[in-house]
Amino acid sequence: MTRMLIIGPPGSGKGTQAERISERLGVVAISTGDIFRANVKGETPLGIEAKKYMDAGDFVPDSVTNNMVRDRLSQDDVENGFLLDGYPRTTAQVDFLDQILAEGEQELDVVLQLTADDEVLVARLLGRAKETGRSDDNETVIRHRLDLYHEQTEAVVAKYAERGILTQVDGIGGIDEVTDRVLTAIESAKAV
């Protein structure tokens, strides 16, 4: 059983690697971004609220995100482990996740951080925007999201590093190459 997080700046390949890790380890991947986008597409009340923040490149408020994550982690398919992608993004969310896990007498096994140079990420995300037509991927919004990541999420990374469960992996390279590095890092972290 593995309970883990994948953290990294926008465009670092978190979603792609989360799918591959989920498949290889047999745990469910939970992407807050996918859940938000599904709600936006379905024009649910959550989706309408989330879209305002997403289009501006801002984080969806903790109150909305935390309740969604609590609900998702209470479902049966996470009994054998999970991989959270896109959460927690702030230290307040770390505290909330700690509380959820403590209620279930659980803890995280590993926090995987994908690292990448900002300029490489901007180019990658602009390319993805052309392919997918995502409204939240233009250069101004991308740079704003990267700034937010550095301002807020790096404190999350530091918190997990202090706990000794952070593993960093270079997210630049071919998908298979990054997956190999990720799986090796997870196995090393779990062996400790």
Say whether 127 counts as a known binding-site residue. no
Q: Where are the alpha helices (DSSP H) in the chain?
A: 14-25, 32-41, 45-56, 62-73, 91-103, 118-132, 139-148, 154-163, 175-191
Say whether 88 counts as a known binding-site residue. yes
Say whether 163 counts as a known binding-site residue. no
Say whether 81 counts as a known binding-site residue. no
CA distances from 155 to 79, 93, 151 (A): 29, 11, 8
Q: Give catalytic residues, as residue numbers.
A: 14, 89, 128, 134, 145
Say whether 11 counts as a known binding-site residue. yes
DSSP code of 152? I
Strands 2-7 and 28-31: unpaired
Say whether 61 counts as a known binding-site residue. no
Annotated binding site for AMP: 32, 37, 58-60, 86-89, 93, 134, 145
Annotated binding site for ATP: 11-16, 128, 173
Annotated binding site: 11-16, 32, 37, 58-60, 86-89, 93, 128, 134, 145, 173
